[in-house]
Structure 1
């Protein structure tokens, strides 16, 4: 039995800080401009992770933080191989008992794709938070420092567990499934069509909803079992569209083509015959939509998907549809399985 003095000491002892690892991959959050006035023109991926962490002493108030430099690239150059390398490192860290949360710093151009990939493949309930910035740290009103502090705060909070991979930007907490970059020059660039999960206000996370689609521990995908990912390409629909891009992608080895269609994933009459022919040759055809801000592609509306054996991407945008399609085909899925997965994930 504890004596009164021992009990009082235990009650007054400060709680142990969460252990958070920052995995750096480059991007604007590690960028530098020529002057403080350069917020949109700068060089990405210049500042190493140790300098990012040491330049933000406030991090020590919310967690015990250490960093690893996984890559130092601008995110438009993120390849499938980068996704696999990063995902396996995140999974390895998540399996360590001495790691409570993981933050991935990332360029904003493909941040949403990486976040969704991790959301689908890392089998953990520990918080994994992806973060970037819209302005380099050298700019007036740079947003990276607060974004990183907020990301570490969320990664270290027990309330963040089990919510899948999160994206923290501009004081908002988004699910990696929904969030997308909708603006390219303002700090409120990242939006979710169904709204954020919560907010970070003065060092505390406030939650308003939780994701209901399958992810992380409930996912049938597992980063530790993934090898090379099959080629999946995106072709953009527009007025006066032709079948040139679709045929070229298939000839180059694409196992699936995501059609970024107008409206309800519509396909121009001039393109339909080529897509039917490609499907007959074994190429999966996925109808997504280029529209921004919500809604989803309805199966057997605009096109007879059942008849053509095509798949609809539901509410996933083309770039996220590519991620899910790659993972599905890596496991040898047929069109029926792929369609199920689009509805469940």
Structure 2
């Protein structure tokens, strides 16, 4: 049976690991499978690990691989985990894909932290993928934004409409 929803993981803060205050972060294995299991999601989905980078380290080749994986996926509902700093750049690269609902989301604190927004944002993205029309969307801060009408406000540490 084909999955209804594909979740592509690309790294970002959601999957960061910190070992102690003096350590550099590292992008760990994706936590998405575990978060969806904890949430008892029954809607058929498939998780595909694609990239494990901070979004500031993503380059044009990485974005091209995200676009290719999204365009070639048999699923029409796609969720992409992504670092928040360059999420809107990747959303622009995905804008040419038609007839698919694509939702990017991330976290402002790693999912492994107790007070992370990761689980909530994943839930918002999962719901958006099911009900939003075809197009590219960003699910952050309790809001669903059309991807071409949002930006990250670094001072507020939040996504805001433009």
Bin of the TM-score, shorter chain as denominator length: 0.7 to 0.9
Q: Deviations over 1:13-41 (max 9, x none)?
A: xxxxx710000000001112347xx8xx9
Could you tell me which runs of 5 or more consecutive residues in structure 2 were left unpaired when the two chains were aligned: none
SS in 1 for 2:100: coil
Distance 1:129 1:76, change over 3 A: same
Q: Does 1:161 align with 2:146?
A: no
Deviation, 1:170, is 1.5
Q: Deviations over 1:170-209 (max 9, x none)?
A: 11000111211102674xx11112xxxxxxxxxxxxxxxx
Distance 1:129 1:136, change over 3 A: same
In structure 2, the partner of 1:70 is 50
Matches within 5 A, 1:200-239: none
Distance 1:152 1:136, change over 3 A: same
RMSD: 2.1
Q: Does 1:190 align with 2:159?
A: yes
Aligned with 1:145 (options 111, 116, 119):
119
In structure 2, the partner of 1:102 is 78
Aligned mates of 2:40, 2:9 — CA distance in 1: 15
Distance 1:45 1:184, change over 3 A: farther
Q: Does 1:86 align with 2:37?
A: no
In structure 1, the partner of 2:109 is 135
Deviation, 1:59, is 5.5
Distance 1:44 1:129, change over 3 A: farther
Aligned mates of 2:48, 2:40 — CA distance in 1: 16
In structure 2, the partner of 1:238 is none
Using structure 2 for the length normalisation, give the TM-score.
Answer: 0.87
Aligned mates of 1:44, 1:161 — CA distance in 2: 35
Using structure 1 for the length normalisation, give the TM-score.
Answer: 0.43
Deviation, 1:44, is 5.0
In structure 1, the partner of 2:152 is 181
CA contact (8 A) 1:33 1:136 kept: no
Aligned mates of 1:177, 1:113 — CA distance in 2: 10
Higher strand share: 2
In structure 2, the partner of 1:25 is 10
Count of equivalent residues: 158
Aligned mates of 1:44, 1:152 — CA distance in 2: 26
CA contact (8 A) 2:76 2:99 kept: no
Aligned mates of 2:118, 2:24 — CA distance in 1: 14
SS in 1 for 2:144: strand
Distance 1:42 1:165, change over 3 A: farther
In structure 2, the partner of 1:114 is 90
